[in-house]
Amino acid sequence: MPHILAKLKIQVPDLPVVALHGKDVTLKCSFSHTSPFNLSDVTVFWQLTDTKRSVHGFSMGQDQLTEQAESYANRTSLFLSQLTMGNASLLLQRVAVADEGSYTCFVRVQGHDSAALLLQVAAPYTKPEVTLEPESNLRPGDEVALTCVAYGGYPKADVIWQDGSGRNLTDNITTSVVANEQGLFTMTSVLTVVLEPNSSFNCRLINPLLSEERSIFVTVTGQNIAFPPVALWVTVGLAVCLLGLLIALAAVCRRKIKESCEEARREGRRKKKKQKCIILLELESQTFSTSN
């Protein structure tokens, strides 16, 4: 993006400059000149394009920072050894979300010119986490909410839900964004669905500036889903039948034991009666012998 005025021409990037949150970035600004000059001859001024707030100043051979915005203190510097070679680039350290915006580079030496560039800030999101509500005693046909959360990213990510076959899900989705004190986002997306056996879902987050994708694939298996109603009734029926069989078997065993006991008692009475008869016969025999 060349800008020509008098004997000076400034060039800055045409495309936005993307900087990672917390890292350093160089805002490039170069200028051409027709004859040699000293540092004391050049003035460089960086400012925010919209608000005109001072970011960094240099003139008379030294930095001029009395008007510098407080948020840029101790974070900016020029490449002084390269300034006489036409490099008026600005080093911005520890980039923050608040630094995002348009910056104007102004240079005056043997003429003057200015040009603006756009700084965009990006931060990668954490790997998404998915939770299920409710998370237990589930059956096919139940309505559940899957919550996908990712932290610490910037800018707002595109959230895409897919089923197990890769088909995009678009209904019953609620996505929200909350910024922390650093301006970084927590993305929360809730998908409400009706469960089917072994349901699978994919939550994808795409950072548009970094062209970076984070995703998580989850399957709601039998560990989370209880027996369906039909299987439950079959199980209960089998249990009742087994219990009835055990009760009947116990009754039969009890009757057999009772009959055995009765038989034993009757057998005992017969033995006692037989012994009594034998004794009587013996007594009669002795009496008969005595009388003879």
189: β partners? 148, 175
Domain range spanning residue 263?
228-292
pLDDT tens readout for residues 125-159: 999 999 998 877 777 888 899 999 999 999 999 99
Q: Which DSSP category does 75 fall into?
A: S
| Residue 53 backbone phi and psi in degrees, to 5 | -70, 140
Is residue 33 within 8 Å of residue 110, measured between CB atoms? yes
Pairing, β 17-20 against β 112-122: parallel
Asked which of 94, 122, 150 is the last residue of a domain, the reply is 122
The answer on 77 and 28 residing in a single domain is yes
Residues 102 and 199 grouped into a single domain: no
Task: Read off the CATH number of the domain in which 90 is found.
Answer: 2.60.40.10
Same-domain status, 212 and 234: no
Q: Write out pLDDT tens, residues 87-132.
A: 999 999 999 999 999 999 999 997 889 999 999 999 999 999 999 9
What is the CB-side half-sphere exposure of residue 227 using CA atoms within 13 A? 8
Same domain assignment for residues 282 and 246: yes
pLDDT at position 247, please?
72
Residue 137 confidence (pLDDT): 75
Q: Are residues 57 and 138 in the same domain?
A: no
pLDDT value of residue 196: 83
Q: Which of 122, 147, 171 is the last residue of a domain?
A: 122
Confidence (pLDDT) at 260: 67
Contacts of 175 (CB under 8 A, 6+ apart): 159, 187, 188, 189, 190
Q: 106 and 172: one domain?
A: no
Looking at the structure, do residues 157 and 213 belong to the same domain, yes or no?
A: yes
Q: Please return the burial class of 21, using the count of CB atoms within 10 Å of its CB with bins 0-12, 13-18 and 19+.
A: buried
| Predicted confidence band of residue 232 (pLDDT cuts 50, 70, 90) | very low
Q: Which range, of 5-9, 57-61, 117-121, 283-287, averages the lowest pLDDT?
A: 283-287
Q: Which of 82, 98, 122 is the last residue of a domain?
A: 122
**Paired tokens of 214:** 């984070």
Considering the entire predicted model, what is its pTM?
Answer: 0.70
- Report the domain count for the chain: 3
Segment holding 160, helix H or strand E: strand 158-163
Specify whether 215 is located in the same domain as 246: no
Q: Which two tokens stand for residue 39?
A: 């540092």
Report, as an integer, the average pLDDT of 46-64: 96
Give the chain's mean pLDDT.
83
Please indicate, yes or no, whether residues 238 and 149 belong to a single structural domain of this protein: no
